[in-house]
């Protein structure tokens, strides 16, 4: 392209927890000068709001009725992504066990997915230089026309070891069980299940260091950009 202006590139990175998705996505976005969106944080944010406001998580109709209420704002700077709900910084509280244990139930409600999907699409399409969007249904549902789709995988053992390392002192076996339970819930839900898009490039991170995964994805994005 003339004057060196690269066309904005939209990169979708999907996969289950513990595959290195967030670390990879942030690093790739920072390295290539792209925006970054953690869609999981948005689902956690709406779950946090439901829990904080005493909504019955067991009742999908109760969740659906208030899905449009919280105002969720995501900052897309990969070096310091932010998330607020109704103006409150929720970056820390959305990572609590209370939210983690309930996010699958809230995320499965179609009205919640419709609301958050719309938010994600508007952020992705307004990213001037392009964006790396990470989640579980980005390549299949949220951004099916993304320029590049990547699906990260890893063995349950590797994923549990990484997660328990993040969750200081967590027992690997219970972490593995929790991960598999969440995968089952997210893969079997009717609305936008966790799934690999047909045209996604699968990257198995089990035997790779984080730096190797980042290099692999950066190369894929650069190849895509060069071909545009």
> How do strand 82-85 and strand 88-89 relate by DSSP bridges?
antiparallel
Residue given tokens 């290195």 in the structure block: 20
Task: Name the pLDDT band for 166 (thresholds 50, 70, 90).
Answer: confident
CB 26 within 8 A of CB 81: yes
CB 141 within 8 A of CB 192: yes
Residue given tokens 């579980």 in the structure block: 136
3-state secondary structure 102-114: CHHHHHCCHHHHH
Q: Token pair of 46, please?
A: 């709406």
Per residue in 156-165, pLDDT (tens digit) is 888 888 777 7
pLDDT exceeds cutoff 70 at 136: yes
DSSP class of 126: T
d(CA 20, CA 47): 23
CB 139 within 8 A of CB 197: yes
Average pLDDT over residues 168-178: 77
Task: Name the pLDDT band for 6 (thresholds 50, 70, 90).
Answer: low
pLDDT exceeds cutoff 90 at 178: no
d(CA 135, CA 18): 12
Determine whether 88 is exposed, middle or buried from the number of CB atoms within 10 Å of its CB (0-12, 13-18, 19+): middle
């Amino acid at each position: 392209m003339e004057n060196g202006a690269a066309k904005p590139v939209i990169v979708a990175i999907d996969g289950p927890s513990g595959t290195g998705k967030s670390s990879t996505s942030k690093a790739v976005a920072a390295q290539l000068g792209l925006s970054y969106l953690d869609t999981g944080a948005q689902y956690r944010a709406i779950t946090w709001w439901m829990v904080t406001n005493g909504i019955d998580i067991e009742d999908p109709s109760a969740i659906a009725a208030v899905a449009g209420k919280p105002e969720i704002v995501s900052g897309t700077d990969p070096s310091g992504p932010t998330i607020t709900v109704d103006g409150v910084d929720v970056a820390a509280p959305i990572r609590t066990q209370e939210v983690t244990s309930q996010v699958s139930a809230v995320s499965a409600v179609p009205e919640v997915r419709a609301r958050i999907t719309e938010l994600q699409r508007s952020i992705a399409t307004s990213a001037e230089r392009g964006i790396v969007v990470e989640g579980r249904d980005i390549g299949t549902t949220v951004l099916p026309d993304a320029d590049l789709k990547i699906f990260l995988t890893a063995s349950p053992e590797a994923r549990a070891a990484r997660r328990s390392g993040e969750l200081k002192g967590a027992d690997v076996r219970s972490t593995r069980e929790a991960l598999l339970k969440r995968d089952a819930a997210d893969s079997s839900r009717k609305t936008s299940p966790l799934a690999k898009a047909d045209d996604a490039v699968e990257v198995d991170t089990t035997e790779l260091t984080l730096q190797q995964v980042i290099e692999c994805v950066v190369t894929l994005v650069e190849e895509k950009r060069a071909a545009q």
